[in-house]
Every structure is written in structure tokens, then in C-alpha cells.
Chain A
């Protein structure tokens, strides 16, 4: 099936790249339901269904669930764009394998430090918590945790550099950034995928450098040299890394939408002046938007807080006006071919839009004062993640399974699967939003009497998570068998 809207010199991706992409997808789709069950477990704890369990388990699972989800979707999106990028440039297969090995090693270390060591610092591992276990987790768990981050960081930095290298072998930097479109020229043609991946990889490098600095500072203190860190500096660096990582995962998901959706709408979606301006602006603003994570830090100078507010508002404009509006225009009135891929991609864009609005609300200082530590926070990031980029990546995995068209899709099953995912997902999110709007705090293993309503919301959420889990299992069964068939043919 003709999918892309752009000319491509390397039309057929090498079989080896295709096989590697399948391996990435199988790994990701294996870990996804496991991590989803861990989310169910946490909400069950909050619903007081396992009140005898030590709360340390909640925080250990919170850490594994958070880092695991962020990690698998990052590598999922990277694997997806690497494959699609193969239409235009040649990413290195060896580097992809190195990244895969590093990811597996990092996952093993992460599993050890959380499930065996019971390290419970959250995915944001805010300073100085990892250094002060108070006997809850052993010192080796801190080492394994920092080690896993280091291994992830090395593998993923190499992967990011390699995608940039691959792009650089065909495009100059100004071409890859589509600067000539800003001057009114449309030649040479640059696919949106190349533009977005370039922007994302530059941002990713910045994020990974921030992570390296954080890790070095952590280890310097951990070694007991007497060196202590500035908590404000550590928080700035940690959220710079974390926010950028999550943002570029979304951008990479959107890049896949740009690349795949036109074929289903049977219309082209090409780079233009507005798109070039939007994504260049994103590269600048993404460096400052993280500052909204530090609104509650009164030691942060006011001018940085203002900068965070402005950047957070402004960064939503390129996304909303160009990508979301662009996707709507692309689909509206088109002869859309609806199937699992196009449905998931479109629902993914919808989740990105809804989560984005919730994020902008929370990034407003006056609102953040109330919402900062409530369930509103997991509500918004689960929206643009679970119902946004995750659906986009699942859409890509389905595309991979149908690309060679070995097994026909059953639309009845597709509709049921997507309905369960969407209804279950948004019902689960609604409980987060409702809890947040009613001041139910986040990160509580169990709710005290003052916010006992949190347990009731968690119980309702469990019903919706069950529906979501069922939808995901149906997806895995249906897409999995088609991917496996396609993988077997590739082999």
C-alpha cells in the first residue's frame, strides 16, 4: 500500500531494519500489558483493596511503572521513526542493536532495584530522595537505579546521534530544519518526518546531556566526598531531562502520524512555511517549557517562572494550530480509509489535544497553586501519553503488521478493540481528573480519612482499567498475530 505523501529515494526499507523494528515492537508490546497491570495494582492499593500491603510496594511499583512506561514508549517511538525514516535516509542497524541491548540491560537493572530492592523514588527521582533510603531500600538499589539510567542514557544518546547522522548524510542542517521554507522556497522538498525528527533529536541530545550532569552530580555526592548538591539545580536539570524526554516521545509519535495518515486520507501532508516555523519554534520553546514544573519552588527567581508560563502557553500553539488542526483538515471531507491504524492515529491526535489542554490549564500559575500535587497531574500526562502517543505508536505497530498485508483485518474486532481502549482509557482518566478537581492528592499509597473519596474514585477507575486492559489484550492478540505473520514473511 502506498502510504507516504512524499517522494522517497530509498523506497523500500532494508529487511534487516524491518526485522529489527519488529523486535522493538514485540519487546514494547510485551512490556506494555505488564506495566499496565502495575498501574492497575497501584489503583487497587489506593482503593484499599490491599490495605495490609506495605506502602513501600506502592512507591516501588510507581517507580517501575513510571520509568518503564516512559522508557518503552520512547524506544517505541524511536524504533517507529527509525523505520519510517528509512524511506529517506539510512539509520544504522548496528546502533539500533546497541540501543536495544542497552535498553534490555537498563530494564533488568530497573526491575532489580524496584522489585527486589524496593526502591521507590518515582520516575522523576527527585534529589535528594535516592540518597536517603532511610532503610527502605539497600544501597545497591541506588547504584542499580543510577546505573540503569546511565545505561539507558548511553544507548539512547547514541541512537539519537545516529538518526541525526543519517539525516545529515542526505540533508544539510538548514534543509533538515526546513529553513528554506521560511524564505518562501519549497525545493528541495523535506518530508515533515525529517523535520520533526531533526527537531526532536536535537532536543533529545539536550535532555540526555542534562541527565548526564544530574547523574554525575548524584554520584559525586553518593561517593561520600562531602560534596553536596544544590537541590534547586538538581530539580531544574531533572525536569529539563524528564520534560524533554516525554515531549520528544510525543513529537516522534506525531511525526509518525504525519508520515502515515496521508495515505489513509488519500491526501498529501507536506511541509510548508507554517509547519517549518512551528517546528523551529518548538525546538526553542521546549528548552524552557519544563520550568512550569518548578512553580512551587519559591527559591526559583520570578523571571524564570514567567518564562515557564510563557513558554508553556506558546508551545501549545505550534502543536495545536499546525499538527492537530492540520490532521483535522487532512481527514475532514477526505475519502478516509478507516481501520485499526487510522483509528488509532486519529484517536492519538485527539488524546494529544485533550491532554494538551489539561496540561496548559495546569501550567497556569494560578491554577497550578491548587492542582500541583493533586491527581490532575497524572490525569493530564496520562491523557497525552496513554490516549495520545501510545495510540499513535500502537497505530504504527498495526501498520507494520498490515504493511505486507498477509492477514486481513476484521473490522468488527477492530471496532470492539478501539471502543474498549477509548472508553476504558477515558473512564480511567476521568477518575483522575475528577479526583484532581476535588483536591485528592497524588502519590498517596492509601488515602486518609480527609480525602477518603480518593479510594472511591480509584475503585471506579479499576472498572475502566479492566476494560482498557481487555481492549489492549484484544489489540495484542489481533495485531500481534498479524505482526508475527508479517515478521515471519520478512524472515
Chain B
């Protein structure tokens, strides 16, 4: 929306900005960086409930397999990494493992599929990565590779992206976990850290349970409520105070008006019971 602004709109908005600026000074200047980061994250709202491509992949244990062979048995948590990653991939997988260990249910309720989007990676490279993470002996963690065309299909279906940075000799990419149930995207968790509480929401959805609310990536400072999936309850958040503000302000304002009003003399005397 901002990028499509016309010059006349910009002028009008600048005027408004001056008036409002004082009210929003709390927003740090560094926020612009967050816009950039947030705007390139895969958008769950856009891709949720869409079909997930039934691609062909391969791993050391399974050789050649279709994803549907796995999700027909159990829901799948799928993520895309590359083994030469010097950035987020390993910490992300460690975080995922830690959340999975804390939550439980692996194998009985879901499986984890980790695919490489780097065409240079081989099934052996992925097996080595599994060993590095400490899950190579667990058959419910499936580390594999696929063709560039198949990976592109996943990227198209989820909003995932990766681009080669020749300077850093690394891929630039977001960290993303997709919950796939019966061939459809149930949830899409974005971010470098997988918290057990967030993973529980995803797994609950994969089980077919209704999760009424969860926070989306962004900078919503004032939320009415936070939903705690651990206890399945809503808790008031800071934004709830804003809901109380109108009533309280009106009452105080009224008392102030009545307190400060000068009573008119003679023809319209003050009436107090």
C-alpha cells in the first residue's frame, strides 16, 4: 500500500504525520528494518489450507519416496534447510528438536521431514546433518533431498524463498516450518526459534483440533488477549487496558465537568438532592 502511494497522497499523509508523530514516537526508528524483514516472511494467511505439492524426494533410509506416502500415515512437519548453512539452519533444527522433545508425540502423532533446497546437497549430506542434530537414529525424522523443480513447487505453495548471495557464498532464506495434514497446509510457522508452546498449537491443528487464536509474526504491541495453548485459556494482554480506557475516561471526564462547572445563579439554580 505504501509503495503505491501517489505524490498527492504523500503530501496529505505528510501533513497527518506531523500531527500524529508525537503519539507514535514510541515506535523506534529501527522499525523500518522490521518492515523489511516482516514483509519477506512467508504469509500464513495466504497459504493456509492450500494443497501441499506431493513431491518426490529421496533419503538414505527410504531411497525414493513421495511425500504423500508419509502424510497418508501421519501428519507431517516439514522444513527446508541446506547443509552448508552458516546461519539459521542448524540453530533452527536444534530448536525444533528441542521443542519436539519437550512436546512429545513424535512418531505417534506426526513425523518431521527435513528437505534440502540446495541442489548440491546429497542424501549423505543430509544424513550427516541429521547426525549433527542428534536424530539420525530416529526413523521419524526424515532427512532428504529433491530436485530443484520439486523444491520450487514447495516454494511456490508456501511462499518460501531462497536466493544465492555470492558475496557470503550462502543462501539467504527464512526459517519456516510447515504443518501438513492430509496433503494440505494446516499451519505455517515462521521464525528462527521454535517454541514448544507454538509447536503445540501446530500439532494440535495437525490432530484436527481447533486452535482459536495464536499470534502472527509482526509488531502488534497491544493485543486484547493472549491465548495459552498449554492450558487452552485466554489471558488479558496490554491491549485489554485500551478496552477499559473509553469507559474510565468518560466517567472521569464527566466527574471533572460536573466538578468544575460553575453553577448559574438565579433563574436556573443549582439542583442538588
Please, which residues of chain B bring their CB within 8 A of the CB of A300? 224-225
Is B9 a contact of A140 with CB atoms below 8 Å? yes
Is A205 a contact of B27 with CB atoms below 8 Å? no
Give Cα distance in the complex from A226 to B29, angstroms: 10
User: Does B227 lie at the interface of the complex (its beta carbon under 8 Å from any beta carbon of A)?
Assistant: yes
Selecting from B92-100, B198-206, B245-253, the interface stretch reads B245-253
User: Does B163 lie at the interface of the complex (its beta carbon under 8 Å from any beta carbon of A)?
Assistant: no
Please, which residues of chain B bring their CB within 8 A of the CB of A172? 258, 270-273
A168 is contacted by which of B9, B32, B227, B257 (Cβ under 8 Å)?
B257
Is B246 a contact of A240 with CB atoms below 8 Å? yes
User: Binary interface profile of B, 209-253, with partner A (CB < 8 Å = 1, else 0)?
Assistant: 010110000111111110100000010000100110111011101
Q: How many contacts between A and B, using CB within 8 angstroms?
A: 182
Is B4 a contact of A139 with CB atoms below 8 Å? yes
Give Cα distance in the complex from A224 to B35, angstroms: 8
Give Cα distance in the complex from A144 to B16, angstroms: 10
Interface of A is mostly: helix
Identify the interface centre among A170, A185, A225: most chain B CB within 10 Å of its CB. Answer: A225
Please, which residues of chain B bring their CB within 8 A of the CB of A176? 258
| A198-227 residues at the B interface, CB under 8 angstroms | 201-203, 205-207, 209-210, 213, 216-217, 219-220, 222-227
- CB contact under 8 A between A188 and B273, given known A139-B13, A202-B250, A227-B221: yes
- CB contact under 8 A between A170 and B268, given known A139-B9, A206-B247, A213-B246: yes
Please, which residues of chain B bring their CB within 8 A of the CB of A169? 261-264, 268, 270
Identify the interface centre among A140, A222, A237: most chain B CB within 10 Å of its CB. Answer: A140
User: Does A133 lie at the interface of the complex (its beta carbon under 8 Å from any beta carbon of B)?
Assistant: yes
- CB contact under 8 A between A143 and B20, given known A227-B219, A236-B243: no
Is A164 a contact of B1 with CB atoms below 8 Å? no
Is B249 a contact of A205 with CB atoms below 8 Å? yes
User: Does B2 lie at the interface of the complex (its beta carbon under 8 Å from any beta carbon of A)?
Assistant: yes
User: Binary interface profile of A, 439-458, with partner B (CB < 8 Å = 1, else 0)?
Assistant: 00000000000000000000
Is B258 a contact of A209 with CB atoms below 8 Å? no
Give Cα distance in the complex from A241 to B2, angstroms: 28
Q: Nearest chain A CB to B32's CB is how many angstroms away?
A: 7
Is B272 a contact of A174 with CB atoms below 8 Å? yes
- CB contact under 8 A between A232 and B224, given known A170-B271, A173-B258, A174-B273: yes
User: Does A97 lie at the interface of the complex (its beta carbon under 8 Å from any beta carbon of B)?
Assistant: no
A170 is contacted by which of B13, B245, B264 (Cβ under 8 Å)?
B264
Identify the interface centre among A90, A164, A301: most chain B CB within 10 Å of its CB. Answer: A301
- CB contact under 8 A between A232 and B225, given known A174-B273, A224-B35, A227-B219: yes
Give Cα distance in the complex from A232 to B246, angstroms: 16
Is A223 a contact of B6 with CB atoms below 8 Å? no
User: Does B5 lie at the interface of the complex (its beta carbon under 8 Å from any beta carbon of A)?
Assistant: yes
Closest to A180 in B: B273
User: Does B66 lie at the interface of the complex (its beta carbon under 8 Å from any beta carbon of A)?
Assistant: no
Is A143 a contact of B16 with CB atoms below 8 Å? yes
Q: Nearest chain A CB to B186's CB is how many angstroms away?
A: 17
Give Cα distance in the complex from A219 to B261, angstroms: 34
Is A228 a contact of B218 with CB atoms below 8 Å? yes
Give Cα distance in the complex from A140 to B12, angstroms: 7
| B146-161 residues at the A interface, CB under 8 angstroms | none
A161 is contacted by which of B257, B264, B270 (Cβ under 8 Å)?
B257
Is A188 a contact of B245 with CB atoms below 8 Å? no
Interface size on B, residues (CB 8 A): 59
User: Does B169 lie at the interface of the complex (its beta carbon under 8 Å from any beta carbon of A)?
Assistant: no
Closest to A161 in B: B257
Give Cα distance in the complex from A138 to B7, angstroms: 11
A216 is contacted by which of B5, B12, B20, B250 (Cβ under 8 Å)?
B20
User: Binary interface profile of A, 187-198, with partner B (CB < 8 Å = 1, else 0)?
Assistant: 110100000000
Q: Nearest chain A CB to B29's CB is how many angstroms away?
A: 9
Give Cα distance in the complex from A216 to B16, angstroms: 11
A219 is contacted by which of B5, B20, B255 (Cβ under 8 Å)?
B20
User: Binary interface profile of A, 347-372, with partner B (CB < 8 Å = 1, else 0)?
Assistant: 00000000000000000000000000
Is A147 a contact of B16 with CB atoms below 8 Å? yes
Closest to A170 in B: B268
- CB contact under 8 A between A209 and B250, given known A9-B267, A140-B9: yes
Closest to B17 in A: A223
Please, which residues of chain B bring their CB within 8 A of the CB of A144? 12
User: Does B63 lie at the interface of the complex (its beta carbon under 8 Å from any beta carbon of A)?
Assistant: no
Please, which residues of chain A bring their CB within 8 A of the CB of B234? 299, 301
Identify the interface centre among B5, B212, B254: most chain A CB within 10 Å of its CB. Answer: B254
Please, which residues of chain B bring their CB within 8 A of the CB of A206? 246-247, 249-250
- CB contact under 8 A between A164 and B258, given known A135-B4, A170-B264, A240-B246: yes
- Shortest 7 CB-CB distances between A and B: which pairs? A180-B273, A226-B31, A168-B261, A206-B250, A139-B9, A299-B213, A205-B250
Q: Can you show 24 pairs from A to B with CB atoms below 8 A apart? A: A133-B1, A135-B4, A138-B6, A139-B2, A139-B10, A168-B261, A171-B270, A172-B270, A172-B271, A180-B273, A188-B271, A219-B16, A219-B20, A220-B23, A226-B219, A227-B221, A228-B220, A230-B223, A233-B242, A237-B242, A237-B243, A298-B210, A299-B212, A301-B234
